[in-house]
A and B are shown apart, each in its own frame.
Chain A
Amino acid sequence: MRAWLRHHRRAAAGALARLAAQKTAAALNALVIGIALALPAGAYALLESLRATATDASFEPQLTVFLRPEAPRTEAEMVRARLAREPRVREARFVSREQALRELQALEGVAEIAAALEKNPLPDAFVVRLREAPRQEAMEALAAELRALPAVAHVQADPLWARRLAALAGIARLAIALLAALLAFGLVAITFNTIRLQILTQRAEIEVSKLIGATDAFIRRPFLYLGALQGLCGGAVALAILWASLAALNSEVAVLAATYGSNFRLRFLEPGDALAVAAFSAFLGWLGAYLSVSRHLRDIQPE
Protein backbone atom coordinates (compact mmCIF):
# COMPACT_ATOMS: atom_id res chain seq x y z
CA MET A 1 0.00 0.00 0.00
CA ARG A 2 2.82 2.38 0.91
CA ALA A 3 4.65 1.53 -2.31
CA TRP A 4 1.43 2.10 -4.27
CA LEU A 5 0.94 5.49 -2.65
CA ARG A 6 4.58 6.32 -3.28
CA HIS A 7 4.16 5.46 -6.97
CA HIS A 8 1.12 7.74 -7.16
CA ARG A 9 2.94 10.55 -5.39
CA ARG A 10 5.88 10.24 -7.78
CA ALA A 11 3.57 10.10 -10.80
CA ALA A 12 1.69 13.20 -9.66
CA ALA A 13 4.92 15.04 -8.90
CA GLY A 14 6.32 13.98 -12.27
CA ALA A 15 3.21 15.26 -14.05
CA LEU A 16 3.43 18.58 -12.21
CA ALA A 17 7.11 18.88 -13.10
CA ARG A 18 6.31 18.16 -16.74
CA LEU A 19 3.62 20.84 -16.78
CA ALA A 20 6.05 23.28 -15.18
CA ALA A 21 8.72 22.38 -17.72
CA GLN A 22 6.34 23.11 -20.61
CA LYS A 23 4.75 26.28 -19.28
CA THR A 24 3.80 27.83 -22.60
CA ALA A 25 2.28 24.71 -24.11
CA ALA A 26 0.51 23.90 -20.85
CA ALA A 27 -0.87 27.44 -20.57
CA LEU A 28 -2.14 27.37 -24.17
CA ASN A 29 -3.80 24.01 -23.63
CA ALA A 30 -5.44 25.24 -20.44
CA LEU A 31 -6.62 28.35 -22.30
CA VAL A 32 -8.18 26.33 -25.13
CA ILE A 33 -9.90 24.02 -22.66
CA GLY A 34 -10.94 26.98 -20.52
CA ILE A 35 -12.54 28.82 -23.44
CA ALA A 36 -14.34 25.66 -24.54
CA LEU A 37 -15.71 25.06 -21.04
CA ALA A 38 -16.52 28.70 -20.35
CA LEU A 39 -19.21 28.66 -23.06
CA PRO A 40 -21.54 26.05 -21.52
CA ALA A 41 -20.62 27.20 -18.01
CA GLY A 42 -21.57 30.76 -18.99
CA ALA A 43 -24.82 29.64 -20.56
CA TYR A 44 -25.60 27.67 -17.41
CA ALA A 45 -24.81 30.71 -15.24
CA LEU A 46 -27.14 32.83 -17.40
CA LEU A 47 -29.93 30.29 -17.13
CA GLU A 48 -29.49 30.02 -13.37
CA SER A 49 -29.53 33.82 -13.05
CA LEU A 50 -32.78 34.00 -15.03
CA ARG A 51 -34.30 31.13 -13.10
CA ALA A 52 -33.46 32.78 -9.80
CA THR A 53 -34.95 36.05 -10.98
CA ALA A 54 -38.07 34.32 -12.27
CA THR A 55 -38.51 32.69 -8.88
CA ASP A 56 -38.01 36.02 -7.12
CA ALA A 57 -40.72 37.56 -9.29
CA SER A 58 -43.09 34.63 -8.77
CA PHE A 59 -43.15 33.85 -12.46
CA GLU A 60 -44.16 30.33 -11.66
CA PRO A 61 -47.72 29.03 -12.12
CA GLN A 62 -49.91 31.30 -10.08
CA LEU A 63 -53.29 32.94 -9.81
CA THR A 64 -53.98 36.61 -9.28
CA VAL A 65 -57.26 37.22 -7.47
CA PHE A 66 -58.55 40.79 -8.02
CA LEU A 67 -61.19 42.03 -5.55
CA ARG A 68 -64.07 44.26 -6.38
CA PRO A 69 -62.97 47.92 -6.07
CA GLU A 70 -65.70 48.62 -3.57
CA ALA A 71 -65.02 45.50 -1.49
CA PRO A 72 -64.21 46.44 2.12
CA ARG A 73 -61.13 45.08 3.87
CA THR A 74 -63.31 42.78 5.96
CA GLU A 75 -64.28 40.92 2.80
CA ALA A 76 -60.64 40.85 1.81
CA GLU A 77 -59.94 39.14 5.14
CA MET A 78 -62.59 36.53 4.33
CA VAL A 79 -60.89 35.80 1.00
CA ARG A 80 -57.54 35.52 2.80
CA ALA A 81 -59.07 33.01 5.26
CA ARG A 82 -60.53 31.02 2.38
CA LEU A 83 -57.14 30.90 0.65
CA ALA A 84 -55.40 29.92 3.89
CA ARG A 85 -57.69 26.88 4.18
CA GLU A 86 -57.09 25.87 0.58
CA PRO A 87 -54.65 22.88 0.48
CA ARG A 88 -53.60 23.59 -3.12
CA VAL A 89 -52.32 27.05 -2.14
CA ARG A 90 -48.75 27.42 -0.90
CA GLU A 91 -48.77 31.14 -0.35
CA ALA A 92 -51.22 34.00 -0.78
CA ARG A 93 -49.72 37.48 -0.73
CA PHE A 94 -52.06 40.42 -0.28
CA VAL A 95 -51.29 43.43 -2.48
CA SER A 96 -53.31 46.42 -1.41
CA ARG A 97 -54.49 48.88 -4.02
CA GLU A 98 -52.19 51.52 -2.48
CA GLN A 99 -49.21 49.20 -2.71
CA ALA A 100 -50.11 48.28 -6.29
CA LEU A 101 -50.17 51.96 -7.22
CA ARG A 102 -46.82 52.54 -5.55
CA GLU A 103 -45.31 49.63 -7.51
CA LEU A 104 -46.82 51.02 -10.71
CA GLN A 105 -45.41 54.46 -10.01
CA ALA A 106 -41.99 52.95 -9.46
CA LEU A 107 -41.90 51.49 -12.95
CA GLU A 108 -39.79 53.40 -15.42
CA GLY A 109 -41.96 55.05 -18.11
CA VAL A 110 -45.24 54.53 -16.25
CA ALA A 111 -44.56 56.85 -13.34
CA GLU A 112 -45.76 59.97 -15.12
CA ILE A 113 -49.00 58.33 -16.29
CA ALA A 114 -49.63 56.94 -12.81
CA ALA A 115 -48.99 60.36 -11.25
CA ALA A 116 -51.53 61.93 -13.60
CA LEU A 117 -54.34 59.69 -12.34
CA GLU A 118 -56.93 61.54 -10.31
CA LYS A 119 -57.80 58.51 -8.23
CA ASN A 120 -56.35 55.03 -7.71
CA PRO A 121 -58.04 52.73 -10.26
CA LEU A 122 -56.35 49.60 -8.99
CA PRO A 123 -58.15 47.01 -6.86
CA ASP A 124 -56.88 45.06 -3.87
CA ALA A 125 -55.53 41.69 -4.97
CA PHE A 126 -54.06 38.42 -3.78
CA VAL A 127 -51.12 36.86 -5.61
CA VAL A 128 -51.57 33.13 -5.06
CA ARG A 129 -48.70 30.68 -5.50
CA LEU A 130 -49.68 27.04 -5.76
CA ARG A 131 -48.06 24.07 -4.09
CA GLU A 132 -47.20 22.37 -7.37
CA ALA A 133 -47.74 23.09 -11.06
CA PRO A 134 -51.27 21.80 -11.65
CA ARG A 135 -52.86 20.70 -14.89
CA GLN A 136 -54.65 23.48 -16.73
CA GLU A 137 -58.13 22.09 -15.90
CA ALA A 138 -57.33 21.83 -12.19
CA MET A 139 -56.02 25.36 -12.13
CA GLU A 140 -59.10 26.67 -13.92
CA ALA A 141 -61.34 24.78 -11.50
CA LEU A 142 -59.63 26.50 -8.56
CA ALA A 143 -59.94 29.84 -10.37
CA ALA A 144 -63.67 29.22 -10.82
CA GLU A 145 -64.09 28.42 -7.12
CA LEU A 146 -62.38 31.65 -6.15
CA ARG A 147 -64.32 33.62 -8.75
CA ALA A 148 -67.53 32.55 -7.02
CA LEU A 149 -66.58 34.38 -3.81
CA PRO A 150 -68.63 37.58 -3.42
CA ALA A 151 -65.63 39.90 -2.94
CA VAL A 152 -63.81 38.62 -6.02
CA ALA A 153 -64.16 40.52 -9.28
CA HIS A 154 -61.71 38.62 -11.46
CA VAL A 155 -59.27 35.72 -11.25
CA GLN A 156 -56.36 35.61 -13.65
CA ALA A 157 -54.78 32.22 -14.20
CA ASP A 158 -51.73 31.96 -16.35
CA PRO A 159 -50.76 28.28 -16.61
CA LEU A 160 -50.08 28.47 -20.37
CA TRP A 161 -47.61 31.27 -19.88
CA ALA A 162 -45.94 29.36 -17.06
CA ARG A 163 -45.86 26.21 -19.13
CA ARG A 164 -44.23 28.06 -22.02
CA LEU A 165 -41.63 29.47 -19.67
CA ALA A 166 -40.93 26.01 -18.29
CA ALA A 167 -40.68 24.61 -21.83
CA LEU A 168 -38.30 27.38 -22.87
CA ALA A 169 -36.17 26.73 -19.79
CA GLY A 170 -36.15 23.02 -20.66
CA ILE A 171 -35.03 23.75 -24.22
CA ALA A 172 -32.30 26.04 -22.92
CA ARG A 173 -31.10 23.39 -20.48
CA LEU A 174 -31.03 20.77 -23.24
CA ALA A 175 -29.14 23.13 -25.54
CA ILE A 176 -26.58 23.75 -22.82
CA ALA A 177 -26.24 20.02 -22.19
CA LEU A 178 -25.70 19.39 -25.93
CA LEU A 179 -23.18 22.21 -26.15
CA ALA A 180 -21.40 20.89 -23.06
CA ALA A 181 -21.31 17.37 -24.52
CA LEU A 182 -19.88 18.61 -27.81
CA LEU A 183 -17.25 20.72 -26.10
CA ALA A 184 -16.46 17.89 -23.68
CA PHE A 185 -15.75 15.71 -26.69
CA GLY A 186 -13.47 18.45 -27.97
CA LEU A 187 -11.69 18.62 -24.63
CA VAL A 188 -11.13 14.86 -24.65
CA ALA A 189 -9.75 15.15 -28.18
CA ILE A 190 -7.38 17.96 -27.14
CA THR A 191 -6.05 15.93 -24.22
CA PHE A 192 -5.85 12.80 -26.37
CA ASN A 193 -3.58 14.62 -28.79
CA THR A 194 -1.49 16.31 -26.11
CA ILE A 195 -0.83 13.00 -24.43
CA ARG A 196 -0.10 11.35 -27.78
CA LEU A 197 2.64 13.93 -28.39
CA GLN A 198 3.91 13.44 -24.85
CA ILE A 199 4.08 9.68 -25.39
CA LEU A 200 6.02 10.17 -28.60
CA THR A 201 8.58 12.36 -26.85
CA GLN A 202 8.95 9.74 -24.10
CA ARG A 203 8.98 6.78 -26.44
CA ALA A 204 12.53 5.73 -25.51
CA GLU A 205 11.76 5.90 -21.79
CA ILE A 206 8.57 3.87 -22.24
CA GLU A 207 10.38 1.24 -24.28
CA VAL A 208 13.16 0.90 -21.71
CA SER A 209 10.64 0.85 -18.87
CA LYS A 210 8.79 -2.01 -20.52
CA LEU A 211 12.04 -3.88 -20.99
CA ILE A 212 13.02 -3.64 -17.37
CA GLY A 213 9.68 -4.71 -15.95
CA ALA A 214 7.37 -1.72 -15.66
CA THR A 215 3.70 -2.65 -15.88
CA ASP A 216 1.38 -0.80 -18.25
CA ALA A 217 -0.40 0.66 -15.22
CA PHE A 218 2.87 2.11 -13.95
CA ILE A 219 3.72 3.60 -17.35
CA ARG A 220 0.18 4.92 -17.83
CA ARG A 221 -0.07 6.61 -14.43
CA PRO A 222 1.98 9.81 -15.01
CA PHE A 223 0.12 10.44 -18.26
CA LEU A 224 -3.23 10.11 -16.49
CA TYR A 225 -2.12 12.61 -13.87
CA LEU A 226 -0.91 14.90 -16.63
CA GLY A 227 -4.27 14.72 -18.41
CA ALA A 228 -6.23 15.29 -15.20
CA LEU A 229 -4.02 18.22 -14.18
CA GLN A 230 -4.34 19.75 -17.61
CA GLY A 231 -8.11 19.38 -17.41
CA LEU A 232 -8.15 20.88 -13.93
CA CYS A 233 -6.12 23.87 -15.10
CA GLY A 234 -8.54 24.24 -18.02
CA GLY A 235 -11.47 24.15 -15.59
CA ALA A 236 -9.85 26.84 -13.44
CA VAL A 237 -9.29 28.99 -16.54
CA ALA A 238 -12.94 28.48 -17.54
CA LEU A 239 -14.11 29.67 -14.12
CA ALA A 240 -11.77 32.66 -14.29
CA ILE A 241 -13.04 33.58 -17.77
CA LEU A 242 -16.63 33.21 -16.59
CA TRP A 243 -16.07 35.32 -13.49
CA ALA A 244 -14.32 38.09 -15.44
CA SER A 245 -16.95 38.03 -18.20
CA LEU A 246 -19.84 38.26 -15.74
CA ALA A 247 -18.14 41.09 -13.88
CA ALA A 248 -17.70 42.98 -17.15
CA LEU A 249 -21.24 42.26 -18.37
CA ASN A 250 -22.91 43.07 -15.08
CA SER A 251 -22.02 46.75 -15.23
CA GLU A 252 -24.07 47.03 -18.44
CA VAL A 253 -26.73 44.57 -17.27
CA ALA A 254 -27.27 46.74 -14.19
CA VAL A 255 -28.00 49.78 -16.37
CA LEU A 256 -30.46 47.81 -18.52
CA ALA A 257 -32.15 46.16 -15.52
CA ALA A 258 -32.60 49.56 -13.82
CA THR A 259 -34.75 50.72 -16.75
CA TYR A 260 -37.13 47.91 -15.85
CA GLY A 261 -36.98 48.75 -12.17
CA SER A 262 -35.08 45.53 -11.55
CA ASN A 263 -31.85 44.81 -9.75
CA PHE A 264 -31.20 41.77 -11.96
CA ARG A 265 -27.55 40.66 -12.18
CA LEU A 266 -25.85 37.75 -13.86
CA ARG A 267 -24.75 35.51 -11.02
CA PHE A 268 -21.52 33.50 -10.87
CA LEU A 269 -21.89 29.78 -10.30
CA GLU A 270 -22.70 28.49 -6.84
CA PRO A 271 -19.60 27.00 -5.11
CA GLY A 272 -20.89 23.46 -5.71
CA ASP A 273 -21.44 24.15 -9.41
CA ALA A 274 -18.00 25.75 -9.74
CA LEU A 275 -16.40 22.72 -8.10
CA ALA A 276 -18.38 20.47 -10.43
CA VAL A 277 -17.03 22.36 -13.47
CA ALA A 278 -13.44 21.93 -12.24
CA ALA A 279 -13.98 18.26 -11.36
CA PHE A 280 -15.72 17.55 -14.68
CA SER A 281 -12.87 19.20 -16.55
CA ALA A 282 -10.29 17.16 -14.64
CA PHE A 283 -12.26 14.00 -15.38
CA LEU A 284 -12.40 14.80 -19.11
CA GLY A 285 -8.65 15.41 -19.09
CA TRP A 286 -8.13 12.07 -17.37
CA LEU A 287 -10.44 10.36 -19.88
CA GLY A 288 -8.62 11.85 -22.87
CA ALA A 289 -5.29 10.76 -21.38
CA TYR A 290 -6.61 7.27 -20.63
CA LEU A 291 -7.88 6.77 -24.18
CA SER A 292 -4.67 8.13 -25.66
CA VAL A 293 -2.26 6.20 -23.50
CA SER A 294 -4.24 2.96 -23.89
CA ARG A 295 -4.22 3.39 -27.64
CA HIS A 296 -0.57 4.35 -28.04
CA LEU A 297 1.09 2.18 -25.40
CA ARG A 298 0.16 -0.87 -27.45
CA ASP A 299 2.22 0.51 -30.34
CA ILE A 300 5.37 0.76 -28.26
CA GLN A 301 6.92 -2.63 -27.80
CA PRO A 302 10.53 -3.35 -26.85
CA GLU A 303 12.78 -4.44 -29.68
Chain B
Amino acid sequence: MISFSGVSKRYPGGHEALANVTFSIEAGEFVFVAGHTGAGKTTLLKLIAAIERPSAGAVIVAGQNVGALKPAAVPYLRRNLGLVFQGQKLLYDRSVFDNVMLPLAFGELTEREAARRVRAALEKVGLAARERANPIQLSGGEQQRLAIARAVVNRPALLLADEPTANLDAAAAGAVLELFTAFNQVGVTVLVATHDEALIARSGRRVLRLSNGSLAG
Protein backbone atom coordinates (compact mmCIF):
# COMPACT_ATOMS: atom_id res chain seq x y z
CA MET B 1 0.00 0.00 0.00
CA ILE B 2 2.79 2.41 0.95
CA SER B 3 6.43 2.18 -0.02
CA PHE B 4 9.22 4.62 0.82
CA SER B 5 12.48 4.03 -0.97
CA GLY B 6 15.46 6.15 0.03
CA VAL B 7 13.20 9.13 0.68
CA SER B 8 14.68 12.41 1.84
CA LYS B 9 12.94 15.70 2.34
CA ARG B 10 14.83 18.96 2.64
CA TYR B 11 12.78 22.12 3.12
CA PRO B 12 13.74 25.48 1.66
CA GLY B 13 16.25 26.91 4.09
CA GLY B 14 18.12 23.63 4.35
CA HIS B 15 16.34 21.82 7.16
CA GLU B 16 16.36 18.09 6.39
CA ALA B 17 13.18 16.62 7.82
CA LEU B 18 13.67 13.10 6.44
CA ALA B 19 16.92 11.41 5.43
CA ASN B 20 17.07 8.29 3.31
CA VAL B 21 13.93 6.68 4.75
CA THR B 22 12.97 3.26 3.44
CA PHE B 23 10.02 1.14 4.58
CA SER B 24 6.84 -0.41 3.28
CA ILE B 25 3.36 -0.96 4.67
CA GLU B 26 1.07 -3.66 3.35
CA ALA B 27 -2.60 -3.11 2.67
CA GLY B 28 -4.70 -3.72 5.78
CA GLU B 29 -1.86 -3.00 8.24
CA PHE B 30 -2.16 -0.72 11.26
CA VAL B 31 1.15 1.07 11.82
CA PHE B 32 2.29 3.78 14.18
CA VAL B 33 4.94 6.35 13.30
CA ALA B 34 6.55 7.36 16.56
CA GLY B 35 9.21 9.87 17.45
CA HIS B 36 9.98 13.06 19.29
CA THR B 37 8.74 16.46 18.18
CA GLY B 38 10.57 17.38 14.96
CA ALA B 39 11.51 13.78 14.20
CA GLY B 40 9.81 13.96 10.78
CA LYS B 41 6.47 12.23 11.48
CA THR B 42 4.31 14.96 9.99
CA THR B 43 6.58 15.31 6.96
CA LEU B 44 6.27 11.59 6.35
CA LEU B 45 2.46 11.84 6.31
CA LYS B 46 2.60 14.95 4.11
CA LEU B 47 4.68 13.08 1.56
CA ILE B 48 2.11 10.28 1.43
CA ALA B 49 -0.71 12.78 0.92
CA ALA B 50 1.27 14.71 -1.71
CA ILE B 51 1.20 17.84 0.41
CA GLU B 52 4.98 17.84 0.09
CA ARG B 53 7.20 16.33 -2.60
CA PRO B 54 10.27 14.30 -1.71
CA SER B 55 13.67 15.87 -2.37
CA ALA B 56 15.04 12.41 -3.19
CA GLY B 57 13.74 8.85 -3.37
CA ALA B 58 10.35 7.45 -4.30
CA VAL B 59 7.06 7.51 -2.38
CA ILE B 60 4.66 4.93 -3.79
CA VAL B 61 1.05 4.97 -2.56
CA ALA B 62 -1.42 2.43 -3.96
CA GLY B 63 0.89 1.89 -6.91
CA GLN B 64 1.30 5.60 -7.72
CA ASN B 65 4.60 7.43 -7.51
CA VAL B 66 3.36 10.38 -5.49
CA GLY B 67 6.45 12.50 -6.10
CA ALA B 68 5.93 12.28 -9.86
CA LEU B 69 2.20 13.03 -9.85
CA LYS B 70 1.05 15.99 -11.91
CA PRO B 71 -0.69 18.65 -9.80
CA ALA B 72 -4.01 17.90 -11.50
CA ALA B 73 -3.79 14.25 -10.39
CA VAL B 74 -3.18 15.02 -6.73
CA PRO B 75 -6.86 15.57 -5.77
CA TYR B 76 -7.75 12.13 -7.10
CA LEU B 77 -5.01 10.55 -4.97
CA ARG B 78 -6.29 12.38 -1.88
CA ARG B 79 -9.85 11.16 -2.46
CA ASN B 80 -8.59 7.68 -1.66
CA LEU B 81 -7.01 8.84 1.57
CA GLY B 82 -8.65 9.67 4.86
CA LEU B 83 -6.76 12.47 6.56
CA VAL B 84 -7.02 13.34 10.24
CA PHE B 85 -4.99 16.46 10.81
CA GLN B 86 -3.21 17.83 13.77
CA GLY B 87 -5.67 20.49 14.97
CA GLN B 88 -8.54 18.77 13.10
CA LYS B 89 -9.08 21.56 10.55
CA LEU B 90 -12.82 21.62 11.10
CA LEU B 91 -14.98 24.36 9.60
CA TYR B 92 -16.72 26.32 12.30
CA ASP B 93 -19.12 28.17 10.01
CA ARG B 94 -21.18 25.04 9.41
CA SER B 95 -22.74 22.14 11.24
CA VAL B 96 -21.23 18.80 12.22
CA PHE B 97 -23.26 17.21 9.40
CA ASP B 98 -21.96 19.66 6.79
CA ASN B 99 -18.37 19.17 7.91
CA VAL B 100 -18.66 15.46 7.26
CA MET B 101 -20.49 16.10 3.98
CA LEU B 102 -17.54 18.11 2.60
CA PRO B 103 -15.57 15.20 1.03
CA LEU B 104 -18.73 13.94 -0.66
CA ALA B 105 -19.56 17.29 -2.24
CA PHE B 106 -17.30 16.67 -5.22
CA GLY B 107 -18.07 12.97 -5.57
CA GLU B 108 -20.54 11.12 -7.71
CA LEU B 109 -23.11 10.35 -5.01
CA THR B 110 -26.63 11.70 -5.07
CA GLU B 111 -27.57 14.03 -2.22
CA ARG B 112 -29.68 11.33 -0.60
CA GLU B 113 -26.91 8.72 -0.73
CA ALA B 114 -24.35 11.26 0.51
CA ALA B 115 -26.58 12.17 3.46
CA ARG B 116 -26.99 8.48 4.28
CA ARG B 117 -23.20 8.04 4.25
CA VAL B 118 -22.70 11.08 6.48
CA ARG B 119 -25.18 9.78 9.04
CA ALA B 120 -23.56 6.35 8.97
CA ALA B 121 -20.13 7.92 9.61
CA LEU B 122 -21.48 10.04 12.45
CA GLU B 123 -23.18 6.97 13.89
CA LYS B 124 -19.88 5.12 13.75
CA VAL B 125 -18.04 7.77 15.76
CA GLY B 126 -20.93 8.31 18.18
CA LEU B 127 -21.95 11.77 17.03
CA ALA B 128 -25.27 10.95 15.34
CA ALA B 129 -27.17 12.96 17.91
CA ARG B 130 -25.00 16.03 17.35
CA GLU B 131 -25.30 16.41 13.59
CA ARG B 132 -26.95 19.83 13.78
CA ALA B 133 -24.48 21.15 16.33
CA ASN B 134 -21.65 23.49 15.46
CA PRO B 135 -18.23 21.88 15.95
CA ILE B 136 -17.34 24.63 18.41
CA GLN B 137 -19.97 23.15 20.76
CA LEU B 138 -18.18 19.79 20.86
CA SER B 139 -15.56 18.69 23.35
CA GLY B 140 -11.98 18.06 22.21
CA GLY B 141 -12.58 14.30 21.99
CA GLU B 142 -15.82 14.83 20.04
CA GLN B 143 -14.09 17.19 17.64
CA GLN B 144 -11.44 14.57 17.02
CA ARG B 145 -14.12 11.96 16.39
CA LEU B 146 -15.82 14.39 14.02
CA ALA B 147 -12.53 14.77 12.13
CA ILE B 148 -12.33 10.99 11.91
CA ALA B 149 -15.89 10.77 10.60
CA ARG B 150 -14.98 13.27 7.88
CA ALA B 151 -11.85 11.26 7.05
CA VAL B 152 -13.69 7.97 6.65
CA VAL B 153 -16.96 9.11 5.05
CA ASN B 154 -15.46 8.61 1.60
CA ARG B 155 -14.53 5.02 2.54
CA PRO B 156 -10.81 5.47 1.96
CA ALA B 157 -8.41 2.57 1.56
CA LEU B 158 -5.81 4.39 3.66
CA LEU B 159 -6.34 6.42 6.81
CA LEU B 160 -3.60 8.83 7.89
CA ALA B 161 -3.74 10.51 11.27
CA ASP B 162 -1.33 13.08 12.62
CA GLU B 163 -1.22 13.25 16.43
CA PRO B 164 -4.92 12.31 16.72
CA THR B 165 -4.83 12.02 20.48
CA ALA B 166 -2.89 15.19 21.23
CA ASN B 167 -4.68 17.24 23.90
CA LEU B 168 -7.09 14.38 24.66
CA ASP B 169 -7.40 12.68 28.01
CA ALA B 170 -6.72 8.96 28.28
CA ALA B 171 -10.37 7.96 27.91
CA ALA B 172 -10.89 10.08 24.79
CA ALA B 173 -7.58 8.86 23.35
CA GLY B 174 -8.68 5.28 23.98
CA ALA B 175 -11.95 5.93 22.16
CA VAL B 176 -10.07 7.30 19.16
CA LEU B 177 -7.77 4.26 19.14
CA GLU B 178 -10.81 1.99 19.21
CA LEU B 179 -12.22 3.77 16.19
CA PHE B 180 -8.99 3.32 14.24
CA THR B 181 -8.91 -0.34 15.22
CA ALA B 182 -12.49 -0.78 14.07
CA PHE B 183 -11.73 0.77 10.68
CA ASN B 184 -8.60 -1.35 10.36
CA GLN B 185 -10.64 -4.48 11.06
CA VAL B 186 -12.78 -3.80 8.00
CA GLY B 187 -9.68 -3.58 5.80
CA VAL B 188 -8.63 0.07 6.01
CA THR B 189 -4.86 0.57 6.18
CA VAL B 190 -4.16 2.87 9.13
CA LEU B 191 -1.04 4.95 9.69
CA VAL B 192 -0.98 7.04 12.85
CA ALA B 193 1.80 9.49 13.71
CA THR B 194 2.04 10.04 17.44
CA HIS B 195 4.44 10.62 20.28
CA ASP B 196 1.94 9.08 22.72
CA GLU B 197 3.93 6.04 23.84
CA ALA B 198 1.11 4.83 26.09
CA LEU B 199 -1.22 4.67 23.13
CA ILE B 200 1.34 2.76 21.09
CA ALA B 201 1.97 0.32 23.93
CA ARG B 202 -1.75 -0.23 24.39
CA SER B 203 -2.30 -1.04 20.73
CA GLY B 204 0.46 -3.59 20.30
CA ARG B 205 0.86 -2.62 16.65
CA ARG B 206 3.90 -2.25 14.41
CA VAL B 207 5.88 0.93 15.00
CA LEU B 208 8.11 2.93 12.65
CA ARG B 209 10.34 4.94 14.93
CA LEU B 210 11.79 8.18 13.58
CA SER B 211 14.65 10.10 15.13
CA ASN B 212 15.94 13.31 13.56
CA GLY B 213 14.51 12.32 10.20
CA SER B 214 15.86 8.80 10.06
CA LEU B 215 14.24 5.49 10.85
CA ALA B 216 15.65 4.08 14.06
CA GLY B 217 16.02 0.47 14.90
Contact = CB atoms under 8 A, between A and B. Distances in A.
Interface stretch (A78-86, A87-95, A202-210, A240-248): A202-210
Interface in B60-107: 72, 75-79, 81, 83, 85, 89, 91, 93, 102-103, 105-107
Interface of A: 3, 6-7, 10, 204-205, 207-216, 218, 301-303
Contact of A208 (B77, B91, B107): B91
A137 to B, nearest CB: 65
B197 interface: no
A198 B49 CA distance: 27
A211 B49 contact: yes
Contact of A215 (B72, B85, B102, B108): B72
B89 A204 contact: yes
Q: Which 6 A-B residue pairs are closest in the complex by CB-CB distance?
A: A213-B79, A213-B78, A212-B103, A3-B108, A218-B106, A213-B75
A215 B72 CA distance: 7
B150 interface: yes
Contacts of B49: 211
Determine the main DSSP class of B at the interface with A: loop
A209 to B, nearest CB: 7
B51 interface: yes
B106 A7 contact: yes
Interface residues of B, number: 24
Nearest to B76: A213
Interface of B: 49, 51, 72, 75-79, 81, 83, 85, 89, 91, 93, 102-103, 105-108, 110-111, 150, 154
Contact of A211 (B83, B93, B107, B111): B83
A214 B91 contact: no
Contacts of B79: 212-213
B106 A214 contact: yes
A249 B108 CA distance: 55
A87 B171 CA distance: 101
17 contacts: A208-B91, A208-B102, A209-B102, A212-B79, A212-B83, A212-B102, A212-B103, A212-B150, A212-B154, A213-B76, A213-B77, A213-B79, A213-B81, A214-B106, A215-B106, A218-B105, A303-B51
Nearest to A7: B106
Contacts of A6: 110-111
A177 to B, nearest CB: 39
Contacts of A10: 105
A218 to B, nearest CB: 5
A213 B106 contact: yes
B115 to A, nearest CB: 13
A218 B107 CA distance: 10
A302 B102 contact: no
